[in-house]
Amino acid sequence: MAYKQFVPLVNLNFQINRLLTYGEAACREEELWEAAQGLQTFDYKAWYREWHNLALRAEGDGRILHAAYYHRLSEFFLPDDVPEKQTSYQDFRRCFYQAVDTTRFDQIEVPYEGHVLPVLRINAADPKAVVLLHGGFDSFVEEFYPALHRLTDNGYSLVVFEGPGQGRALRDGLKMNHDWEKPVGAVLDHLGLDDAPLIGVSLGGYLALRAAAFEPRISRVVAYDVVYDALECFTSSVPEPMGSELRRMIEEGRKEEVNALFEALRRDNDLVDWVLTHGMYITGQVSPFDYFHYFLNFNTRDISRLIRQDVLLLAGEHDHFVPLDMYYKQKDALTRARSVRGRIFTAAEGGDQHCQVGNVDLAFKEMLEWLDGFYCG
């Protein structure tokens, strides 16, 4: 499924392609083009309206899984204080679990700090290994489902979970933190696993590497995008030299200046606006400065030397979220890993976008080949 140009704005266009990459199971392409006609500029109310209307149409037609993913898309850019943020999420989950065959997986709740971590366990027929998988900045556990057969059909049972700051765990009151070894450890404890590969998607690439540094039961780790420094990902959306100056201001604690500058920037930059709105929501921080200062912790600079597992790094050459130099920095920093394999996907092969949206088969093929090197023969 090739990457398409639905709308001019890069992040909006990416989110539509993110749905398209799951193919006909998740949407009708002609309906994406239809909705895109009303989304040539950024307006979260218009975004909600277009996808909500499509969700209602799909539900009326009996296309319940399509309705689920349209509800998910309608929710995406809504601020957390808008009531439709919650109702769209509820409609997404209602339609999803109505549409899929729930006998094909187990729904598990892992106790965690007075709350629960939602888990889908999907068993392969003759499993080679049990693989943990989680998302990052903005994903839901159910969202990955149409792609996961690529792993389960090839002998890998999956434990797909939401940690703090994600999906139902977030709505249950768990805010995101950098010490991802804690939720990973809770999942391993609850399921009695002592040797499991871990795949982290998007910002989950950082989270998974962080978990591997402190959790020896993670035997291998995939950074299915390479986030060496999360704050740099966000400041890179601001033109230089302002991006570097912003980081310096954050590190120096210049709160009032940072807040004023980001409030000005977000008015003219849809990506900055969304990063702030969503980032403050998932972390529970109350100002741009507080949020970005919090994210100073989200880097692997000081913990990469602690990673001793086998590591697979995946990157896209034109990723609009993650600068490509993070791939090289991360690869160089893994000085004590048992082995390091890396792959940069290109535009020529259709995998150059963030998390290979447009051709996720490339990424799954790479992961399968890498895993099979350890678990086959």
Model pLDDT for residues 52-94, shown as the tens digit of each residue: 999 999 999 999 999 999 999 999 999 999 999 999 999 999 9
pTM above 0.95, yes or no: yes
**Cβ neighbours of residue 188 closer than 8 Å, sequence gap 6 or more:** 132, 194, 196, 215, 217
CB 74 within 8 A of CB 47: yes
Q: What is the pLDDT of residue 177?
A: 96
Chain centroid to Cα 218, Å, comes to 20
The CATH superfamily label for domain 10-99 reads: acylaminoacyl peptidase (1.20.1440.110)
Residues in the chain: 377
With both helix axes pointing from N to C terminus, report the angle between 44-60 and 83-99 in degrees, rounded to the nearest 10. Answer: 30
Spans of the chain, pLDDT less than 50: none
Q: What is the pLDDT of residue 186?
A: 99
Q: What is the pLDDT of residue 374?
A: 97
Average pLDDT score, the chain = 96
Of 100, 98, 46, the residue nearest 76 (C-alpha): 46
- Rounded CA-CA distance 36/27 in Å is 14
Of 282, 312, 319, 278, the residue nearest 205 (C-alpha): 312
Of 146, 188, 170, 156, the residue nearest 19 (C-alpha): 146
CB 198 within 8 A of CB 218: yes
Alpha helices in the chain (DSSP H): 10-20, 29-36, 44-60, 64-75, 83-99, 149-152, 167-171, 181-191, 204-214, 230-235, 242-251, 255-266, 270-283, 288-294, 325-333, 360-375
**Cβ neighbours of residue 355 closer than 8 Å, sequence gap 6 or more:** 201, 202, 224, 225, 316, 363
**Cβ neighbours of residue 125 closer than 8 Å, sequence gap 6 or more:** 155
The domains spanning 10-99 and 103-229+298-375 adopt the same CATH topology = no
Residue 307: both structure tokens together: 């990673």
Helix and strand tally (H, E) in the chain? 16, 8
Topology of domain 103-229+298-375 in CATH is Rossmann fold (3.40.50)
CB 145 within 8 A of CB 133: no
Q: What is the pLDDT of residue 306?
A: 99
**Can you give the residue ranges of every domain in the chain?**
10-99, 103-229+298-375, 232-280+287-292
Residue 243 has φ and ψ, to the nearest 5°, of -60, -45
With both helix axes pointing from N to C terminus, report the angle between 242-251 and 255-266 in degrees, rounded to the nearest 10. Answer: 140
